[in-house]
Amino acid sequence: MEWVGFEELFGEVVVSVARELQRVAGLGGFRAAVAWQNRPVLGSGVGPFLAWVPSVGGRSSMPRQREELVAHYWQRFCVKNDTIGFFGPVGWGRWDLSSCGVSVDPGVGFVAASEVYFASWAIDAVAKLVNADPALRPWIAPRRIPFVRVADGAVTLPGRPPQRISPGLLEVLARCDGVRPARDVGPAEALEELVRRRIVVWRLEVPADARPERWMRRWLESAGAPGGRALELLDALESGRGRVADATDPDELVSALTEIESTFVALTDEAAVREKGANTAPCRALVYSDSRRSAEVRLGKDVLESLAPLELLLTAARWLTWTLAQRVMARVEEVYQGPVDLATFWFACAPILHGDAAGIAADVQAEFWRRWESILPPLTGSQVHVSMLDIAGRVRAEFAAPGAGWTAARYSSPDVLMTGSGDLVLGELHVATNTLGASLFVNQHESPASLLAETSRDHPGPRLMPLLAKEHRSRLSARIRHALVRPEDYYVALVDYTADPARPRTVLSADATVESRAGRLVAVLPDGAEFPVVDVFSHVLTTLVMDMFRLPDQGGHSPRVTVDRMVISRESWRFAVDSLSFADEKNEARRFVKARWWQREAGLPRFVFVVSPTEPRPFYVDFDSPVYVNILAKSIRRLSRKDPEGRLTVTEMLPTPDQAWLTDANGHQYTSELRFVAVDE
SS (H, E, C) 94-128: EECCCCCCEEEECCCCCEEEEEEEECHHHHHHHHH
Is 278 within 8 Å of 473 (Cβ atoms)? yes
Q: β-strands 490-493, 506-508: how paired?
A: parallel
Is 478 within 8 Å of 208 (Cβ atoms)? yes
- Give the count of beta carbons closer than 10 Å to the beta carbon of residue 621: 23
Strands (E), 353-445: 383-386, 411-418, 424-431
Distance CA 386, CA 566 (A): 10
The string of pLDDT tens digits covering residues 656-667 is 989 999 988 888
The string of pLDDT tens digits covering residues 395-429 is 999 999 999 999 999 999 999 999 877 789 999 99
Which residues lie closer than 8 Å to 198 by C-beta, 6 or more apart?
Answer: 145, 148, 157
464: three-class secondary structure by DSSP: strand
Percent of the chain with pLDDT over 70: 98
β-bridge mates for residue 563, sequence order: 386, 566
The string of pLDDT tens digits covering residues 144-186 is 999 999 998 899 999 899 999 999 999 999 999 999 999 999 9
**C-alpha Rg value of the chain to the nearest Å:** 28
Distance CA 681, CA 673 (A): 25
Q: Is the pLDDT of residue 476 over 80?
A: no
Q: What are phi and psi of 581, to 5 degrees?
A: -70, -20
- Give the count of beta carbons closer than 10 Å to the beta carbon of residue 610: 20
Is 119 within 8 Å of 270 (Cβ atoms)? no
The string of pLDDT tens digits covering residues 553-576 is 888 999 999 999 999 999 999 999
Distance CA 315, CA 319 (A): 7
563: three-class secondary structure by DSSP: strand
Structure confidence at residue 437 (pLDDT)? 95
The string of pLDDT tens digits covering residues 92-116 is 999 999 999 899 999 988 899 999 9
Handedness of CA 118, 119, 124, 129 (dihedral sign): negative
Is 561 within 8 Å of 569 (Cβ atoms)? yes
Structure confidence at residue 131 (pLDDT)? 96
The string of pLDDT tens digits covering residues 246-261 is 999 999 999 999 999 9
37: three-class secondary structure by DSSP: helix
For helices 2-26 and 626-642, the axis angle rounded to 10 degrees is: 90
Structure confidence at residue 278 (pLDDT)? 42
Q: Which has more pLDDT, 273 or 574?
A: 574
**DSSP-derived secondary structure letter, 419:** -
Q: Is the pLDDT of residue 347 over 70?
A: yes
Write down how long the chain is. Answer: 681
The stretch 51-63 carries a mean pLDDT of 91
Distance CA 602, CA 252 (A): 48
Q: Is the pLDDT of residue 1 over 70?
A: no
Q: Is the pLDDT of residue 672 over 60?
A: yes
Is 415 within 8 Å of 82 (Cβ atoms)? no
For helices 61-79 and 2-26, the axis angle rounded to 10 degrees is: 60
The string of pLDDT tens digits covering residues 485-497 is 999 999 999 999 9
Nearest to 247 by CA among 45, 35, 40: 35
β-bridge mates for residue 524, sequence order: 513, 530
Distance CA 179, CA 166 (A): 23
Q: What are phi and psi of 160, to 5 degrees?
A: -125, 155
299: three-class secondary structure by DSSP: strand
| Burial state string for 272-307 with b = 16 or more CB within 10 A and e = fewer than 16 | bebeeeeeebbbbbbbbbbbbbbbebbbbeebeebb
Q: Which pTM does this prediction carry?
A: 0.93
Return mean pLDDT, the chain: 93
The string of pLDDT tens digits covering residues 593-648 is 999 999 999 999 999 999 999 998 899 999 999 999 999 999 999 999 999 999 99
Is 425 within 8 Å of 602 (Cβ atoms)? no
**DSSP-derived secondary structure letter, 183:** G
- Cα 512–Cα 518–Cα 522 angle in degrees, nearest 5: 20
Distance CA 263, CA 260 (A): 5
Q: Is the pLDDT of residue 283 over 70?
A: no
User: 3-state DSSP: the chain helix, strand, coil percent, rounded to 5?
Assistant: 45, 20, 35
The string of pLDDT tens digits covering residues 175-214 is 999 999 999 999 999 999 999 999 999 999 999 999 999 9
